[in-house]
Amino acid sequence: MAKHQVEVQAWMLTETQRPVPSEDEYDSMVRSQWLESARAYDPHSSLAEELILRLRGDAAQSGGLDLTVGGLLLKPLQEAVTSAAEREVKLLLVGISPGSTVLHFRPAESEASGNPTDGVAGPVSVDTAVHRIIDLVTTAESGNSSPQWGNTEKSLGDVARVLAKFDLTADLRWMDQNGGVTSSSLSERGRNNVASWHEEVPSTGPEPVRISGRVTVLDEFAGSAKIKTGLSKRSKAYSVLFEPGDLVGLQLTLGQEVSFTVEERPRIKKDGSLSSDYFFVSWDNRPESP
């Protein structure tokens, strides 16, 4: 010890100045080293993928899963993973642990990959899908807006609403096949931010659109007129909105053939679906006054 005292002190100084790894980094290191040792005996060794969901709050103190909570929560969680993977992926509940309520899931992919839900060709690994969800949760916790809109964000919104209903915080932790560990939490702050993504907000700027057809409904109280574009029952119909007083001043009649220029204002509804409102701009084929 006396002979190597200088070297020992230098080594201790270096070690104490190293940054303390996070829980995820430490667990990733331990799992990766275990896997490296196992592969020395079997090169094909791998770890099972596992998604751990820890629920914290008064409704999750028993260490079990209330069926009221589980019935509402597990379906949107499943849908979020399936949407992010862009194909059908089943989550199997393989265990429940104490420590509030800790749910352990393992993915079981169906044999039929199905059609991509977001129109993107090619398979997406479960690992990539879960990382997308965890990244979204991290984005929500940071208070930022979602960079895009799709079924994954909608499903996460459904999860957030269930958590808010029971005042629960959800800790998500993903353990991949190669030992990596990634986690994030969806607290009240994150839930509120996800809810703001689901408000009715314009998705794009207004666009001028021309609508031609017959006037089938006039609603003076609502300030709207329905324009049916064809004679068939299946023909598309548009509900056109007018400024107060404009509808009466135009003196439209039922069955009248009209051609309007309207302003289309797309928006995202609270359930995550897309919709558009049409606001009157001009009456292009308006008959001249005698």
Break the chain into its structural domains and give their ranges: 47-198, 207-283
Q: Beta partners for 268? A: 201, 274
Average pLDDT value for the chain: 84
For the chain, what percent of residues have pLDDT higher than 70? 87
Distances in whole angstroms, Cα of residue 32 to Cα of each of 21, 23, 52, 210:
15, 14, 18, 61
User: What CATH number is given for 207-283 in this structure?
Assistant: 2.40.50.140
Q: Beta partners for 225? A: 218, 240
AA letter at 268: I
Average of pLDDT values for 89-111? 83
For the chain, what percent of residues have pLDDT higher than 90? 45
Instruction: Give the count of alpha carbons within 13 A of 45, CB side only.
Output: 14
AA letter at 114: G
Residue 71: what pLDDT? 84
Query: Is the overall model pTM greater than 0.85, yes or no?
Result: no
Determine what percent of the chain falls in helix, strand and coil, rounding each to the nearest 5: 35, 30, 35
Residue 3: what pLDDT? 84
Residue 104 has pLDDT above 90, yes or no: yes
Q: Tens of pLDDT along 244-290?
A: 778 888 999 999 999 999 998 877 665 556 678 899 999 998 887 65
Residue 152 has pLDDT above 90, yes or no: no
Shortest CA distance to 262 belongs to which of 219, 213, 220, 200? 213
Of 168 and 3, the one with more pLDDT: 168
Residue 199: what pLDDT? 65
Highest-confidence range of 36-50, 99-113, 146-160, by mean pLDDT?
36-50
Residue 229: what pLDDT? 92
Residue 112 has pLDDT above 80, yes or no: no
Residue 50 has pLDDT above 80, yes or no: yes
Q: Tens of pLDDT along 85-96?
A: 888 888 999 998
Residue 115: what pLDDT? 45
Long-range interactions of 180-184: CB distance < 8 A, separation 24+: 180/28, 180/31, 180/32, 181/24, 181/27, 181/28, 181/31, 182/24, 182/131, 182/134, 183/23, 183/24, 183/134, 184/134, 184/135, 184/137, 184/138, 184/141
Q: Tens of pLDDT along 164-187?
A: 999 999 999 999 999 999 999 999
Residue 236 has pLDDT above 50, yes or no: yes
